Structure 1
Amino acid sequence: MSSLYAKLIAVIEQKITPMAGAIGQQKYVTSIRDGFITALPFMIVGSFLLVFIFPPFSPDTSWGFARAWLQFSLDHREALMLPFNFSMGIMTLFYCRRHRGKPGETP
């Protein structure tokens, strides 16, 4: 078992690692990576908030906690949507700042 593992590690180190390193140094790949790193916290916060805003329960559930959560989210939907809209709005501003064009230029 350990010899198979050692062979696998050797193949990865000799063949795959140099190729992955070369691909990882390309400016397009690093741009995509940097974009995801920048946007990821906002996507996580926004996605997590959606679970609170739209609970994962059927409206006809009989579980008391789920019914209370559903009613709370219905009553306070506007206030709960503010942080979600804020996080997605900041992501939009980052995108617009990054992809702004010169006057008279079409995107």
Structure 2
Amino acid sequence: MFDLINTVMGWLRKTTRSAQTRLGEAPDDHVHAFWDHLDELEWAEGRAEHLAEEAARAAREQAWAKLADEERDAIIVWCDDLNAQGRLVDHPFYDQWLALRMTGYVGD
């Protein structure tokens, strides 16, 4: 009886997966290379989004710099109206409006 139990337990020990196996195969360098590839893709996407945001911000700043003083004043009044409606964040010159409105506050 004990020989039967030892035999069955031996079979079970051989068929159990060790901590070194992943989905039935030993971990190789290709698994880690794939994970590194995914990390690089995620980093590249984040970097591309950041560069696109910087380019858009630079374009808005150039457009703001090209405006005449009267046009800037009209845009600030328009932004004040949008702020009263709660829709100001969608405006392309939000950063400029905020900088003008925050002048004189602590930390300026």
Question: Do these two structures clear the TM 0.5 threshold for a shared fold by scoring above it?
Answer: no
Normalising by the residue count of structure 1, what TM-score does the alignment of the two structures yield?
A: 0.27
Q: Which has the larger radius of gyration?
A: 2
Q: Whose helix proportion is higher, 1 or 2?
A: 1
Normalising by the residue count of structure 2, what TM-score does the alignment of the two structures yield?
A: 0.27
